Structure 1
Amino acid sequence: MAEIEIKLERANVEELFSRYKDIIGKDFPGYRNHVYRTITYAMHFLGNDPKLERLVETIFVYHDIGLWTDHELAYLEPSETVALEDNQKYEWGLDPEVLRGGIHWHHKIFSYKGQHQNIVEACRKADWIDASKGLIRKGLNKSAIKEVELAFPNLGFHDTLLRLAKDYGGSALIGGIKVTRGIVKW
């Protein structure tokens, strides 16, 4: 597999985030870096195809956004809704089915098979790598993951997820169960 390409700045990502930075609030730096890490991994799996870059960037800016916009632990559908509404409102022209699929299936445990499989599967694998802090590598070597993590430090992102599970669920245990039931797909 080719060496991983790291882009420290992505104008499209920053523009997309500009609408939500205040809503995400203190969690923004950690979420931003999570988004940059996942984009980097997904684009690597897609051979850094420039034709897919804007779509992948948009999927990842929006993939967890429902945590903050809707204060929901079952945040996939709210995240999809916000992404699809913005796609239409701002006339980005992104395929709504690919946008929805990349968000909807990013927590799928087993490989995704279906429409737009290459993009959805790249996004799914990328999020699993980052969610597991590199314990699940999906074919990437440890040094590539470390390089990406050094470029975009965690900044407490995983702690934020635990805090939100507790805040929205009433306790870490109940929140964890709600998150698992609401977002994990087989």
Structure 2
Amino acid sequence: MSMPDVVGDLPLVEEILESHRSRGRGDDTGWDGYKAHVYRVINFARAFGPETADADDKLAIATAFHDLAAFDTLDYLVPSIAAQDEWLAATGRQDWSDELALVIAGHHRLRAYRSGSGAVPLVEAVRRADLIDVSQGLIRFGLPKSFVNEVRGTFDAGVFFRRVIPTATLRAIRRRQQPGFLRPRNALTRSSHPGSVGR
């Protein structure tokens, strides 16, 4: 398997994250950690494809938004999708809304995503990529260890996993919030998109 070059500066990612920086609640270090996680997921996902003309743009958008609301709530799939929908509409890309909502809704699935017509490459690529990073590279789905280590070493997402997510978890416990990121099944319905991501 030939690995793509590691990318670290995609204009769409930079534009989206900078315009949504307030979501970081003033935690610039945590926001930078999230940005690093976004770039890790993009690079891992690019290794799985799909190789289409708009794949990098779709990956940039979906990954920039995929955990966007995690600074506010553990039920972050729906508000992340809503923020993505708003941005897509504002930039004339609303035709991608249902597909990219599916990417966000399904990115925490433990099992492969399949629709009624078979695999959905972009959803599955991001699902695998996120799991590689969340597992700290212990799960690789066949990617070479050297490539996974290179990507993880290039982007320091440590503070996102060590501080941002635990802080959000404590906040959620105090507020008695449901961990909605663990329940992707109804994220599409609650965000007014068709389809299901199953369990």
| Match status 1:126 vs 2:129 | yes
Question: How far apart are 1:139 and its partner, in Å?
Answer: 1.4
Q: Name the counterpart of 1:112.
A: 113
Q: Name the counterpart of 2:189.
A: none
How many angstroms apart in 1 are the aligned matches of 2:182 and 2:38? Answer: 23
| Match status 1:57 vs 2:60 | yes
How many angstroms apart in 1 are the aligned matches of 2:22 and 2:89? Answer: 22
How many angstroms apart in 2 are the aligned matches of 1:50 and 1:134? Answer: 28
How many angstroms apart in 2 are the aligned matches of 1:147 and 1:130? Answer: 12
Give the counterpart of 1:138 among 134, 141, 152: 141
TM-score in terms of structure 2 length: 0.82
Higher RCO (C-alpha 8 Å, min separation 6): 2
| Match status 1:66 vs 2:69 | yes
Q: Name the counterpart of 1:81.
A: 82
How many angstroms apart in 2 are the aligned matches of 1:54 and 1:123? Answer: 13
Question: Does the CA-based 8 Å contact 2:23-2:69 persist in structure 1?
Answer: no
CA shift in 2, pair 1:113/1:180, >3 Å:
same
CA shift in 2, pair 1:7/1:180, >3 Å:
closer
Pairwise CA RMSD: 2.2
CA shift in 2, pair 1:50/1:148, >3 Å:
farther
Question: Does the CA-based 8 Å contact 1:101-1:120 persist in structure 2?
Answer: yes
| Match status 1:14 vs 2:14 | yes
Q: Name the counterpart of 2:169.
A: 165
CA shift in 2, pair 1:182/1:166, >3 Å:
farther
How many angstroms apart in 2 are the aligned matches of 1:180 and 1:101? Answer: 13
CA shift in 2, pair 1:127/1:94, >3 Å:
farther
Q: Name the counterpart of 1:147.
A: 150
Question: How far apart are 1:49 and its partner, in Å?
Answer: 4.3
Letter in 2 for 1:141: P
| Match status 1:30 vs 2:33 | yes
TM-score in terms of structure 1 length: 0.87
How many angstroms apart in 2 are the aligned matches of 1:178 and 1:124? Answer: 18
Letter in 2 for 1:12: L
Q: What is the DSSP-based 3-state SS (H/G/I as helix, E as strand, rest coil) of the residue aligned with 1:156?
A: helix
CA shift in 2, pair 1:163/1:120, >3 Å:
same
Question: Does the CA-based 8 Å contact 2:109-2:127 persist in structure 1?
Answer: yes
More displaced stretch, 130-139 vs 49-58:
49-58
Q: Name the counterpart of 2:190.
A: none
Gaps of 5+ in 2: 186-197
Letter in 1 for 2:109: K
Total equivalences in the alignment: 181
